[in-house]
Structure 1
Amino acid sequence: MAKVYTSVQWEEMWKEGVHTGEITYDYDDVECVSIWQHPLKKGLFSETSLCPGLRIEIFNFENPEIHGCDSVDSNYRTVSLVFRSSGIWREQIFGVNEDACEQPGESYLFSFETGTREIEKFMAGRDINIRIRLEPQLLRLLSKGQEAYLPNLLKPFLETDKPPSFYQSLGKMTPAMQVALQQILQCPFQGIMRRTYLEAKTLELITLQFAQLFQDGTPYKQSVNLKKGDIERIYQARDILLQDITNPPSLIELARQVHLNDRKLKRGFHQLFGTTVFGYLHEHRLEKASQLLLEGRMNVAEVSYAVGFANRSYFAVAFRKKFGINPSDYQTMCQKKSA
C-alpha cells in the first residue's frame, strides 16, 4: 500500500534530507531549485518568478515507488495551468475534484481556494511536468480590452479574485504545446537570459492552452475531419515550408505540392500545430535566429537576412516581442557569457 505522508511528516523528511545531504537547495529572489537524491525520489524541482503575477514550476523526478502527500494548499489563489510530459499524478481535491488524474501528454486548467485539502499521489516512474501559476490581476491585465475572447471558464476572474473553484482536463496537448514544453525543459540559458526565455515560453504556453478552449470553456474541437493521408500531407507541407525559410512557397503553391486544397491545409495545419502556416514559419525563423545569434558567427543584420527577414527593424521588433530583448543585446549577453 502506498505511503501517504502528512504535511508535518513531509516537512520533517525534507529537513532530515537537507541535513543528510540527500536534498540540496539553492534560492535567490527569482528562483528556487531543490535537487533530490533521496530514497523517495530523485531529480529536481524549480520555481521561478517571472513578470509580476506569473511564476513557473518545473518537476523532473524519478519516483522509485508510489507515494503521496496529504496537505492543505497554502498557495494564494491563482489560475494554474499544467502540462504533463510523462508520469501519472492522481489528486483528491476535496470539494473540487476528488478523482483527478493527470495523464502524460495532456494539459489541465484549475483554480481552487487557499486552504483546500489535497491528497496527491505520485506514481512510480518518471514524472515530468510544468505548472504555471497565473494571478488574477495579471489575467485581467492580459485580457484588458479583449475580455470577450477570454474563455468562459475564466471570466469570473474579471469580477473577483475568488470565483468558484474548478478543475478542467483539456485533453491532449497540441504539437505546438509539446515543442514549447521541451524548449522550457531544455532551456540553454542561465541568469537573466533564463528568466527572459522562460517568461516568453510561459506566455506562449498560456496562449496555446487558452486557444484550446471554446467560449463555453470546453476543449476546442476543429470541425475539419483529417484522415491519415491528410495528416501525412500536412506534415510534408511543414517540411517543405522549412526547407528554405528565406524563400518559402506561397500557400497556394504549398497546397498544390502536397495535393491538398488550401482551405484544408490551413485548417489542418492549425489543428496539428496550433497556429497558421506562416505563423509556424515565423516562430521557426525566430528560434533559428536565436541559435545563430548564440553561435556568434554572424552579426544581427546577417542573421536577419539568413532567417528570411528582409527588414532588419521588423526583425528586431519580432525578436523582442518573442524573447523580451533586442537581438543585439541578446547577442552581446551571449558573448559575455561564453567569454
Structure 2
Amino acid sequence: MTNNPLIPPKRVVEIVAFPDLQLLDVAGPLQVFASANEAAGKSGRPAPYTVRVVAAAARITTSAGLDLLAEPLPSADAPVDTLIIAGGESVHAACDDKELVHWLTARAAAARRVASVCTGAFLLGAAGLLAGKRAVTHWADCDRLARSFPDTRVDMNAIFVRDGRLWTSAGVTAGIDLALAMVEDDVGHAIAAAVARELVVFLKRPGGQAQFSAVLTFQERDREFDRLHGWMAGHLAEDLSVSALAGRMGMSERSLLRHYRASMGVTPARAVEKMRVEAACQLLATTRDPVKRVARRCGFGSEETMRRSFIRQIAVAPHDYRSRFSSSASL
C-alpha cells in the first residue's frame, strides 16, 4: 500500500463465507468491486478496493458445488472498511455457530459499514446488528426474518436497504445492486456506471426499489386474468376503467369486481394504478421525457394525478423519484 498522501488508501472489503452458501451472493459483489478497480485504472485512478473472501475454513463448498478458497477470519479489530455477509439456505446453520456469530459481532464494530446479501441478514440478526434497524432479505424469507427479529422493520419490497452504516439486500442478484450503490457512494457515479455497463446490468433498476414486477405479481396469483393483465400492461394509456375491463373479459362490471377482488386481493382500479406507477418509474429512471409526458404515456391523464398515485403507492413524488433513481445522467 502506498504512503503517497495524494493517493487514497484502498478500502478493504471482506465477504464472509460459510459452507453451502449461495455462490452468487459472493461472486456478484466480488465482481462489482473487482470491476470498479478495473474501471478506475482505465480512467487513470488508483484501484479503490482490496477484496477478500474470508471464512472459518480455508475451503468452502458452495450450494452450487463449486469450492471457494478463503482467507482465515481476520482479527476482529484489524482495519476493515466494508463487511459483507453472504447468504444461502445454510445460513441458519451458520447462525448456530457461536464462534462465528461472536466474531461477526466484534468484527462489525471495526467496520465503517456492514452489509448482507439475501439471507445473510439472518446472520446479522444473530449478531445483534439488526436491532432497531430497517432491513430486507429474499422475499421468501421476509416473514421469517420479521418473526425471528421482531425489533427489525422488514421491508419486503426493497431491492436493498441502507439504514445508517447497515446495508441489507434482497435475494441473490440484489447483492449486485447493493455493491453498485456502495461503489457509487465511495467513488462516484462515473465509475459505478462504467461497472454497470461492463456487467450489463442497471446502475439502478428502472423499477426503483420493488423486488417484484406488478404485472408478474398479478399473473402469479390467478391464471383467470393472465391475458387481461398482459393486455393492460401494453395499453396503459388507454381506457382501463372497470367497464372497459369487464367488456374485454365478457363479464358484467359487478361480476368482474367480485371475481377480481377475490383472486387478486385488490380492485381492478388499484391494479391499474400499480401497473401505471411501475411503468412511469421505468420511464422516469431511463428517459429524459418531461414528467407531464410520462404521465400521459402511462395513462394518468395529468401530472397531478400521477403525483397522487406515486405518493399513494411508493411514498415519493415523481420528480423526487427521478432525481434519486435516474440512470440517464451524463457520465
TM class by shorter-chain length? 0.3 to 0.5
TM-score (norm 1): 0.41
Instruction: Give the structure-2-normalised TM-score.
Output: 0.41
More strand by share: 1
